Structure 1
Amino acid sequence: MAAVMGDPGLSKLQFAPFSSALDVGFWHELTQKKLNEYRLDEAPKDIKGYYYNGDSAGLPARLTLEFSAFDMSAPTPAHCCPAVGTLYNTNTLEAFKAADKKLLLEQAANEIWESIRSGAALDNPVLLNKFLLLTFAITVGVYDPCNLAQYPGWPLRNFLVLAAHRWSSSFQSVEVLCFRDRTLQGMRDVTHSIIFEVKLPEMAFSPDCPKAVGWEKNQKGGMGPRMVNLSECMDPKRLAESSVDLNLKLMCWRLVPTLDLDKVVSVKCLLLGAGTLGCNVARTLMGWGVRHITFVDNAKISYSNPVRQPLYEFEDCLVGGKPKALAAADRLQKIFPGVNARGFNMSIPMPGHPVNFSSVTLEQARRDVERLEQLVEGHDVVFLLMDTRESRWLPAVIAASKRKLVINAALGFDTFVVMRHGLKKPKQQGAGDLCPSHPVAPADLLGPSLFANIPGYKLGCYFCNDVVAPGDSTRDRTLDQQCTVSRPGLAMIAGALAVELMVSVLQHPEGGYAIASSSDDRMNEPPTSLGLVPHQIRGFLSRFDNVLPVSLAFDKCTACSSKVLDQYEREGFNFLVKVFNSSHSFLEDLTGLTLLHQETQAAEIWDMSDDETV
């Protein structure tokens, strides 16, 4: 940029060159002068800059040009030295490229040399700092809303009329930058912008208004009115659908931009049990925007239910009570018509609850099993929310066989457990992957913190913590003893955690195969945008405390072990009938629990014998 005199052969002294620093104000002033004063004039123009003596260490020596560069009489900023130069501004890019840069530099050098030879530099040392600035103008910029690759948007149209009216006598054409500021995958992207040259028509100072166009064409491409159907906007159901997810969208916009709501909204949930847990799980699912919820229950609404089960009212208890599953589905659709809610009033066959061999009872059990298998197959997540342990067995087996995510919630008086069942690997990966190849004792016997970094396919199910098979837990118990007695807030807490666990699993890139988070992970970087993805949440309301144990699948589990699943997949309903009609010893014999009990008793006898001989 600067012309420097000297013979490098006379000295080894080296010099640091200037780094040009052109302020935004300079370009703005050049634009105004180009449009209103210079126009097509390409004659050189005198300009003035300055350099500052006092920059911090490490900064290059800068020759600065700002908005005052065109005023040769403008004062120089404090602590700065002036530098005079010449502006060569071309009208076209071709002229810019064709400019003889060597010749211009030699001309500037001759001017410096003449000031030295004549002694003018002694009177005005500023002449020693001669610089040149070669530019190309003009390009106009437009903030362009159009997405088409080759065409600009409407805002450029009248701007070009302005350019033609004011500058066509000075310019035959202008270069146009259509600036497009987009967001692509969360990142700002301007690569969609386009640049092109436009020839300006001759219309300088024309008094007549150009022909106006702009009426928008209708759907048929004609110049007729467009019809807008506002019925959907005025339909309360449509308004509810557009408003119900506002909280979820605000979560994404403000707090969790990586939250994948589609995975949550589109999930199909099967709720087995429409009691206190089922009602609270359903309401939380709706809060997350889930649109597909199905209930299964065979009970009717009693007078004690509405105060604890928020989907029912007093009128639902009259005349013997409405079926819970049907009433729950109906109430969900009244709360939000956009939800696809269904209810099935049916029983779930259970171990220890014999199926009689009369044709009606056996056939009914077969239909119930087939219906349950179809429901599990048609849903993505199965919630086990029943009152008894044995009622969870059949859906746990079916879901494990069909590789469906299971979320289990069970209540005590002031304790609860919420857990996800281990999600078995796809069948084509081999039966050896279904459970660990070595015997694993139940987690309750080994302690909750013994395992770490267990992937989802190795996690245990609800029955892996037991060393006895499920049986009839209501036999010889009075009605009040059969009811689950819990602190009133416990079901709300457990139901909400069950849904939040499901959502966290869905947000993990590996879904149900995600490695289980434990209590030790609470201070670590969470694996999802919503936090941890535990295997179990065990709560103690009396202490207001939760723990996150992790347990491996039990190779002798009466629900998810390979022996049970293989038998179910080979024999189907015939195998299930054996389980229903036999005592718990059938499953214990099949899985090897009976042998484990015998070995444990033998070991205890040997221990007692050793104690007696001491």
Structure 2
Amino acid sequence: MAAATGDPGLFKLQFAPFSSALDVGFWHELTQKKLNEYRLDETPKDIKGYYYNGDSAGLPARLTLEFSAFDMSAPTPAHCCPAVGTLYNTNTLEAFKAADKKLLLEQAANEIWESIKSGAALENPVLLNKFLLLTFSDLKKYHFYYWFCFPALCLPESIPLIQGPVGLDQRFSPKQIQDLEHAYDDLCQAEGVPALPYFLIKYDENTMLVSLLKHYSDFFQDQRTKITIGVYDPCNLAQYPGWPLRNFLVLAAHRCSFQSVEVLCFRDRTMQGVRDITHSIIFEVKLPEMAFSPDCPKAVGWEKNQKGGMGPRMVNLSECMDPKRLAESSVDLNLKLMCWRLVPTLDLDKVVSAKCLLLGAGTLGCNVARTLMGWGVRHITFVDNAKISYSNPVRQPLYEFEDCLTGGKPKALAAADRLQRIFPGVNARGFNMSIPMPGHPVNFSSITLEQARRDVEQLEQLIESHDVVFLLMDTRESRWLPAVIAASKRKLVINAALGFDTFVVMRHGLKKPKHHDARNLCASHPVAPADLGSSLFANIPGYKLGCYFCNDVVAPGDSTRDRTLDQQCTVSRPGLAMIAGALAVELMVSVLQHPEGGYAVASSSDDRMNEPPTSLGLVPHQIRGFLSRFDNVLPVSLAFDKCTACSSKVLDQYEREGFHFLAKVFNSSHSFLEDLTGLTLLHQETQAAEIWDMSDDETI
């Protein structure tokens, strides 16, 4: 449809019809309604749908129904217009075929016509977008037959095009377009709706005003020849308006005294986070004269089938109506919606396919697991040797009071079971096992040693078979063995630890494979183990980053010996674990989105105003939170060449001697690791320097 330059009668307005879009969740909800509520009841039911006007070019104008279609009070999705409809659900296929489609269309058309004549459509323009849905559900085979109807009243003659259509940027200046955006947004906000299907427009070079349909008499009182109206247009074709304009033009011809109407098909698209309405079109049409007859005009609107003929459609959902499969589809919905407009470059497969090992099934472990499920992670494994106590359920959301009875269920097993009850699509496993620790001796002559050997072997196998290891335990020393194994196996480690009102969430430096000869790279940075801001060490790659133990100059030992109860337990503000657990998962996801993964350069607090390295933002090394100040900082620290967990001396000994080396660590005092890594010598040198400085001061 090109711009008219001669006889306007040569160019007639045409409309792009709606295409029905029924979500699988709609059919599942209809099935439940049919089985539990409707049964043999065939009386019409009120339902609702919506349409959207921000699709990319080439997609049809869709009227969508989803699981919430049966809840008339359900909110309409953002940036969508509601449409009210009537469901006619038949009990048999014969009744579906025999339904009087002509009568159903006439009844719906009469309702629209009455709303136009009474003025109700001016007060509530949604009444112009009524639809019908005729269905039959074969619940043995999960075959669903349906026929959509979008009733549209017909004017007595075709509608001549006077001018246009042209793109919005060909008619208005950038300022006018921006003013239109703001005016429309303000009107929607004032009305408390996500979008308005129709609105009035009045403009000049300096102003752009909009108003509701019901105010048209006052709004256009100074107009003489034509009016301008906006239509929230679901069509994205450059030459044609969408179906909702049809019934509005009947309203305009019946109630307005103007000879022509200028129509702005408002199309609101967001691509790569940038809003754009310049692909909207504007044109002017001549309004036909309508005799004020009480009779309803002729109506059209039954949707064509997939073959282009007049007939119903059928969808076979026998393979996807299983509740577990529906749950999987629903779980992924929010994630997929992220990719539509907010983060189109998000690689969900990297997140969903990640196999996550959670060492610790306590407060942190429970919160990390729930957040992982929110990101669609399907493979989650717990390791813990504790049982659920009465103090746990209020802080650890995977447990309930009944889990505490008769001595308490094993945490790891109960957590895995609860995840599968929350979402059957998750592959959750639990291992009730201990992690051998430095400072906690094992006996060489008893079964204890063999048990420790089995625990180490099992932990090695678990870390080998997973992609990401979360350290979420209560004590410092319990993190040592998995930190060593994961560093040796080049696995991404996410660590989270809590204080009373502080926390640290960090990723361990990911060692490069041996053939890169990168094991000793940290030796070129023999810095003291301390957090270093990016102002000192910028652009540090992942293989040079420190681990949880790189900031310590003392080897891990028994941290609970000779401690009071409040010193043995992690006493934290109740909200701290949820914050730290969520940040631990978000850090993992950000790392996975970076092209270099665990080798990504660390972001720091100084990078907050810079261009983010991933679609989700920064990829920090550490997040240190201070809840008393409601503040987070992003420090960066280098790997320590004398680290008791990830230094080359420790990893070489572990890889050469295996469990024999580990047993010596378990059974010896912390001095064994300190002697091995050189910390003992460092302590001695430090003490000597302090003595030298003191004597030197005394001579002055």
TM-score (norm 1): 0.64
- How far did residue 396 of structure 1 move? 0.2
Counterparts of residues 445-460 of structure 1 (less than 5 Å): 449-460=535-546
Q: Is the 8 Å Cα contact of residues 2 and 130 (structure 1) preserved in structure 2?
A: no
* Offset from partner CA, 1:123-177 (integer Å, 9 cap, x none): 999999999999xx999999999999999999999999999999xxx99999999
Question: Kindly tell me: are residues 218 and 562 of structure 1, through their superposed partners in 2, closer, same or farther at Cα, counting changes over 3 Å?
Answer: farther
The alignment partner of 1:300 has SS state of: coil
Question: Kindly tell me: are residues 201 and 304 of structure 1, through their superposed partners in 2, closer, same or farther at Cα, counting changes over 3 Å?
Answer: closer
Question: Kindly tell me: are residues 595 and 180 of structure 1, through their superposed partners in 2, closer, same or farther at Cα, counting changes over 3 Å?
Answer: same
Q: Is the 8 Å Cα contact of residues 436 and 455 (structure 2) preserved in structure 1?
A: yes
Q: Is the 8 Å Cα contact of residues 3 and 130 (structure 1) preserved in structure 2?
A: no
Residues in 1 aligned to 2:388 and 2:45: alpha-carbon distance in whole angstroms: 93
Q: Is the 8 Å Cα contact of residues 2 and 132 (structure 1) preserved in structure 2?
A: no
Residues in 1 aligned to 2:651 and 2:109: alpha-carbon distance in whole angstroms: 92
Q: Is the 8 Å Cα contact of residues 338 and 344 (structure 2) preserved in structure 1?
A: yes
Q: Is the 8 Å Cα contact of residues 497 and 503 (structure 2) preserved in structure 1?
A: yes
Q: Is the 8 Å Cα contact of residues 351 and 377 (structure 2) preserved in structure 1?
A: yes
Question: Kindly tell me: are residues 236 and 43 of structure 1, through their superposed partners in 2, closer, same or farther at Cα, counting changes over 3 Å?
Answer: closer
Query: For structure 1, which segment, 85-94 or 275-284, has the greater mean C-alpha deviation from structure 2 after superposition?
Result: 85-94
Runs of 5+ consecutive residues of structure 2 not aligned to the other structure: 135-225
Residues in 2 aligned to 1:35 and 1:327: alpha-carbon distance in whole angstroms: 34
* Offset from partner CA, 1:555-581 (integer Å, 9 cap, x none): 000000000000000000000000000
Q: Is the 8 Å Cα contact of residues 5 and 113 (structure 1) preserved in structure 2?
A: no
Aligned residues, how many?
608
* Offset from partner CA, 1:182-211 (integer Å, 9 cap, x none): 999999999999999999999999999999
Q: Is the 8 Å Cα contact of residues 453 and 516 (structure 1) preserved in structure 2?
A: yes
Residues in 2 aligned to 1:497 and 1:416: alpha-carbon distance in whole angstroms: 10
Residues in 2 aligned to 1:258 and 1:374: alpha-carbon distance in whole angstroms: 34
The alignment partner of 2:58 has SS state of: coil
The structure 1 segments of at least 4 consecutive aligned residues displaced by more than 6 Å after TM superposition are 1-134, 137-166, 170-228
- How far did residue 610 of structure 1 move? 1.0
The alignment partner of 1:232 has SS state of: coil
Q: Report the equivalent of 1:146.
A: 235
Question: Kindly tell me: are residues 199 and 575 of structure 1, through their superposed partners in 2, closer, same or farther at Cα, counting changes over 3 Å?
Answer: farther
Query: For structure 1, which segment, 463-472 or 30-39, has the greater mean C-alpha deviation from structure 2 after superposition?
Result: 30-39
Larger radius of gyration: 1
For the aligned residue pairs, the C-alpha RMSD in angstroms reads 19.5
Selected match of 1:553 from 634, 639, 652: 639
Residues in 1 aligned to 2:556 and 2:365: alpha-carbon distance in whole angstroms: 22
Residues in 2 aligned to 1:154 and 1:17: alpha-carbon distance in whole angstroms: 5
Q: Is the 8 Å Cα contact of residues 431 and 562 (structure 1) preserved in structure 2?
A: no
Residues in 1 aligned to 2:696 and 2:559: alpha-carbon distance in whole angstroms: 38
Residues in 2 aligned to 1:322 and 1:72: alpha-carbon distance in whole angstroms: 44
Query: For structure 1, which segment, 230-239 or 429-438, has the greater mean C-alpha deviation from structure 2 after superposition?
Result: 429-438
Q: Report the equivalent of 1:97.
A: 97
- How far did residue 480 of structure 1 move? 3.7
Q: Is the 8 Å Cα contact of residues 23 and 64 (structure 2) preserved in structure 1?
A: yes
Q: Report the equivalent of 1:180.
A: 267
Question: Kindly tell me: are residues 339 and 193 of structure 1, through their superposed partners in 2, closer, same or farther at Cα, counting changes over 3 Å?
Answer: same
Query: For structure 1, which segment, 67-76 or 351-360, has the greater mean C-alpha deviation from structure 2 after superposition?
Result: 67-76
Q: Report the equivalent of 1:288.
A: 375
* Offset from partner CA, 1:314-337 (integer Å, 9 cap, x none): 000000000000000000011111
Residues in 1 aligned to 2:27 and 2:323: alpha-carbon distance in whole angstroms: 56
* Offset from partner CA, 1:257-286 (integer Å, 9 cap, x none): 011111101100000000000000000000
Question: Kindly tell me: are residues 72 and 338 of structure 1, through their superposed partners in 2, closer, same or farther at Cα, counting changes over 3 Å?
Answer: closer
- How far did residue 443 of structure 1 move? 1.9
Query: For structure 1, which segment, 570-579 or 141-150, has the greater mean C-alpha deviation from structure 2 after superposition?
Result: 141-150
Residues in 2 aligned to 1:333 and 1:92: alpha-carbon distance in whole angstroms: 37
- How far did residue 384 of structure 1 move? 0.2
* Offset from partner CA, 1:502-526 (integer Å, 9 cap, x none): 0000000000000000000011111
Question: Kindly tell me: are residues 173 and 594 of structure 1, through their superposed partners in 2, closer, same or farther at Cα, counting changes over 3 Å?
Answer: same
Question: Kindly tell me: are residues 305 and 428 of structure 1, through their superposed partners in 2, closer, same or farther at Cα, counting changes over 3 Å?
Answer: same
- How far did residue 254 of structure 1 move? 2.0
Q: Is the 8 Å Cα contact of residues 268 and 381 (structure 1) preserved in structure 2?
A: yes
Runs of 5+ consecutive residues of structure 1 not aligned to the other structure: none
Residues in 1 aligned to 2:591 and 2:303: alpha-carbon distance in whole angstroms: 49
Identity of aligned residues (%): 95
Q: Report the equivalent of 1:115.
A: 115
Question: Kindly tell me: are residues 121 and 237 of structure 1, through their superposed partners in 2, closer, same or farther at Cα, counting changes over 3 Å?
Answer: closer
Question: Kindly tell me: are residues 405 and 163 of structure 1, through their superposed partners in 2, closer, same or farther at Cα, counting changes over 3 Å?
Answer: same
Residues in 2 aligned to 1:300 and 1:35: alpha-carbon distance in whole angstroms: 42
Residues in 2 aligned to 1:235 and 1:26: alpha-carbon distance in whole angstroms: 14
Q: Is the 8 Å Cα contact of residues 91 and 138 (structure 1) preserved in structure 2?
A: no
- How far did residue 393 of structure 1 move? 0.2
- How far did residue 54 of structure 1 move? 38
TM-score (norm 2): 0.56
Q: Is the 8 Å Cα contact of residues 116 and 251 (structure 2) preserved in structure 1?
A: no
The alignment partner of 2:28 has SS state of: helix
